[in-house]
């Protein structure tokens, strides 16, 4: 029997975890066939090990593990494959296929466009080249990661979104971990001349960080009363998001997903390096809580994924390693110092949500 195990990030916010469960429930109805289960990376049970064991207990002989993550960062590249490796040892008769994250997907742009409606920018408005759009900036805000590959993908999304819309500015910022932070992105929008700024969360579901953005919006309104600010909706239960995840599950079940990190020699070496503290986050918090927004990028591996010369398999899934062509980030020089990428970046409870060493704002348009 086939099974699909969807892996959500997990949050300290119960509402966000429940949204993931409801979302997967809706997908299960559309898949109509395989067993569908949900698990979480941290903060919520079942964890990945427990999710796999549930699938096996219910009779699964093939399990497609599909991450509900936007980009390929530490969890998708390191931690989920490691959990699958461990499961293969416990269940040698079970076939495991690893699916791809959402990645840079054309339908994501349609989701973002529709979510602008909650901030007053409708499809009809976007067809007009009016004064309102001339003075409007969209600030795409992501989670932030210590994985440069994942961060660069958000800039690529912003650029593609700018190409699609008729707004004058689409800028990029992060809520934590790396620059430019949200406040820096907002300052840039205003300095460019925007009279109205729409914060567009690049988040799948609600959680601590969405609520933090709501609070920050109030601060901006008080600080800049002559400007307009609004917060658009996160992805949520958008039908095209369901389509993307069904696509990812289907290709994984058919063995068509090319998730090269599962066999990457650099990932194996990285796991050997971090094996001494690899753990299931739901069982204990080893002395410091992991906040919902950090993407948990254990940067211990630091292997950059430049896999051009070292091993003989193609690297052509969503976390492409060819950022030299075609996403120029609007001529910014990206001269950030490497040492501001903190290992094990949990930036909520013990306040790693800090200004990086290099405070240069990076623009996407």
Per-residue pLDDT of the chain (365 residues; tens, 9 = 90+): 999 999 999 999 999 999 999 999 999 999 988 999 999 999 999 999 999 999 999 999 999 999 999 998 877 899 999 999 999 999 999 999 999 999 999 999 999 999 998 887 877 677 665 556 789 999 999 999 999 999 999 999 999 999 988 788 999 999 999 999 999 999 999 999 999 999 999 999 999 999 999 999 999 999 999 999 999 999 999 999 999 999 999 999 998 876 444 444 444 455 555 554 444 444 444 334 434 444 444 333 334 434 344 443 444 444 334 343 444 434 444 343 443 333 343 434 333 333 343 333 333 33
How long is the chain? 365
pLDDT at 118: 83
pLDDT at 158: 97
pLDDT at 288: 40
Name the nearest CA neighbour of 95 among 68, 48, 60.
60
* Domains of the chain and CATH, by start: 106-236+323-340 (3.40.50.1400)
The predicted model scores a pTM of 0.71
pLDDT at 269: 53
pLDDT at 258: 62
CA–CA gap between residue 333 and residue 362 (Å, rounded): 8
pLDDT at 132: 61
CA–CA gap between residue 6 and residue 22 (Å, rounded): 12
Torsion of CA 274, 255, 2, 44, to 10 degrees: 30
CB 189, CB 206: distance < 8 Å? no
CA–CA gap between residue 340 and residue 331 (Å, rounded): 22
């Amino acid at each position: 029997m086939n099974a699909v195990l969807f892996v959500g990030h997990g949050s300290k916010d119960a509402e966000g975890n429940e949204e993931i469960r409801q979302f997967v429930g809706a997908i299960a109805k559309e898949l109509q066939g395989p067993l569908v289960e949900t698990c979480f990376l941290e903060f919520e049970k079942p964890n990945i090990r427990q999710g796999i064991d549930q699938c096996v207990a219910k009779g699964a002989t093939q399990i497609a593990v599909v991450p509900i993550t936007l980009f390929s960062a530490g969890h998708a590249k390191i931690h989920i494959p490691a959990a699958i490796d461990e499961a293969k040892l416990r269940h040698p008769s079970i076939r495991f296929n690893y699916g791809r994250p959402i990645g840079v997907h054309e339908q994501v742009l349609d989701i973002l466009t529709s979510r602008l409606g909650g901030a007053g920018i409708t499809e009809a408005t976007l067809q007009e080249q009016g004064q309102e759009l001339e003075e409007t900036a969209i600030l795409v805000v992501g989670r932030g990661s210590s994985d440069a590959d994942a961060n660069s993908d958000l800039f690529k999304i912003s650029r593609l979104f700018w190409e699609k819309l008729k707004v004058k500015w689409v800028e990029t910022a992060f809520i934590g971990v790396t620059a430019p932070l949200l406040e820096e992105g907002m300052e840039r929008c205003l300095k460019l001349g925007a009279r109205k700024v729409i914060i567009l969360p690049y988040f799948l579901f609600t959680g601590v960080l969405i609520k933090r953005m709501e609070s920050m919006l109030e601060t901006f309104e008080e600080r800049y009363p002559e400007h307009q600010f609004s917060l658009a909706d996160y992805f949520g239960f958008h039908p095209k998001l369901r389509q993307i995840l069904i696509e990812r599950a289907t290709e994984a079940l058919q063995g068509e997903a090319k998730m090269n990190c599962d066999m990457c020699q650099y990932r194996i070496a990285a796991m050997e390096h971090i094996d001494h503290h690899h753990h299931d986050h739901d069982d204990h918090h080893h002395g410091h809580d992991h906040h919902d927004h950090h993407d948990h990028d254990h940067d211990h591996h630091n292997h950059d994924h430049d896999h051009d010369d070292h091993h003989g398999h193609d690297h052509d899934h969503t976390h492409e390693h060819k950022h030299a062509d075609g996403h120029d980030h609007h001529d910014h020089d990206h001269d950030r110092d490497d040492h501001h990428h903190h290992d094990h970046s949990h930036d909520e409870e013990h306040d790693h949500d800090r200004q990086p060493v290099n405070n240069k704002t990076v623009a996407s348009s």
